[in-house]
């Protein structure tokens, strides 16, 4: 048990999927895991552990933004020895070739700041994903016929962004999409020698203004969860 996670030792699996929304964690656990058990509800941040195709998995909310994710990932790694951590979440598309409902597999993340910035000081650390997870996820998406893009993303500090000039530079330099957590996840995974990947569903588009209707989100997010699970255990 930690300050923010009420699970007992042994309640958390070595493989953890991390949606931002705790209720999305609940939905994913009930939909994809067998014998899913609630292992955490401290501060309303729900976590569940169950089985997927004979493999033990925890699906745990991480909250919104890098500071929140940093708390949970630090504790999951240092106190519960999580070894594989996969973010499953939504993102905004930033390129013409990226469509709503597509999946983005993030190779690397660009950011203005992370909770780890104080460690690096003047160094611009480039956090990247785990190659094996990326490889497995791409082939899982390909087998499912899900339109998938592999490349860099932007992990933003704010949701209500007022820097259109910055977004233009992200697009100009090939960034596929924007979200708010992956940069810190990849940094912590590098620090503690763990595997990490962000599997993201494009739920809206910064260039076109298109957004995924709420009734379609569950089906599209389901593809993302299955891709993440296949990646972890391929």
User: Catalytic site residues?
Assistant: 204
Tell me if 14 is assigned to a ligand binding site.
Answer: no
Tell me if 204 is assigned to a ligand binding site.
Answer: yes
Q: Which residues pair with 155 in a beta bridge?
A: 179
Task: Please name the residue that has the structure tokens 């309640």.
Answer: 11
Tell me if 24 is assigned to a ligand binding site.
Answer: yes
The CA-to-CA distance between both ends of the chain, in Å, stands at: 30
Tell me if 226 is assigned to a ligand binding site.
Answer: no
Tell me if 63 is assigned to a ligand binding site.
Answer: no
Tell me if 62 is assigned to a ligand binding site.
Answer: no
Tell me if 205 is assigned to a ligand binding site.
Answer: no
Tell me if 87 is assigned to a ligand binding site.
Answer: yes
Taking the C-alpha atoms of residue 133 and residue 15, their distance in angstroms, rounded to an integer, is 12
Tell me if 88 is assigned to a ligand binding site.
Answer: yes
Tell me if 214 is assigned to a ligand binding site.
Answer: no
Taking the C-alpha atoms of residue 22 and residue 44, their distance in angstroms, rounded to an integer, is 7
Tell me if 222 is assigned to a ligand binding site.
Answer: no
Which one, of 74, 20, 65, lies nearest residue 188 by Cα? 74
Strands 15-18 vs 177-179: parallel, antiparallel or unpaired: unpaired
Which one, of 129, 46, 127, lies nearest residue 84 by Cα? 129
* Alpha carbons within 13 A on the beta-carbon side of 136: 19
Count CB atoms within 10 A of the CB of residue 1.
14
Taking the C-alpha atoms of residue 75 and residue 53, their distance in angstroms, rounded to an integer, is 26
Task: Give the annotated binding-site residues for phosphate.
Answer: 20, 24, 43, 87-90
Per the annotation, binding residues for a purine D-ribonucleoside are 4, 179-181, 203-204
Residues in binding site? 4, 20, 24, 43, 87-90, 179-181, 203-204
């Amino acid at each position: 048990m930690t300050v923010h996670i009420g699970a007992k030792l042994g309640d958390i699996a070595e493989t953890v999927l991390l949606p931002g929304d705790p209720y999305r964690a609940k939905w994913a656990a009930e939909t994809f895991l067998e014998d899913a058990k609630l292992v955490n509800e401290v501060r309303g941040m729900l976590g569940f552990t169950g089985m997927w195709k004979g493999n033990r998995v925890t699906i745990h909310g991480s909250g919104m933004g890098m500071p929140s994710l940093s708390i949970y990932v630090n504790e999951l790694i240092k106190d519960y020895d999580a070894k594989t951590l996969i973010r499953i979440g939504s993102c905004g598309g930033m390129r013409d070739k990226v469509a709503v409902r597509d999946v983005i597999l993030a190779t690397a993340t660009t950011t203005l700041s992370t909770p780890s910035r104080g460690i690096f000081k003047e160094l611009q650390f480039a956090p990247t994903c785990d190659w094996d997870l990326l490889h497995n996820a791409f082939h899982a998406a390909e087998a499912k016929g899900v339109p998938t893009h592999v490349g860099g993303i932007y992990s933003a500090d704010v949701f209500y962004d007022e820097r259109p000039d910055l977004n233009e530079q992200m697009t100009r330099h090939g960034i596929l999409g924007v979200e708010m957590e992956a940069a810190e996840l990849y940094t912590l995974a590098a620090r503690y020698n763990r595997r990490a990947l962000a599997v993201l569903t494009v739920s809206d588009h910064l260039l076109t203004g298109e957004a995924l209707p709420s009734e379609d989100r569950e089906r599209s997010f389901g593809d993302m969860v299955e891709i993440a699970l296949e990646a972890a255990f391929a």
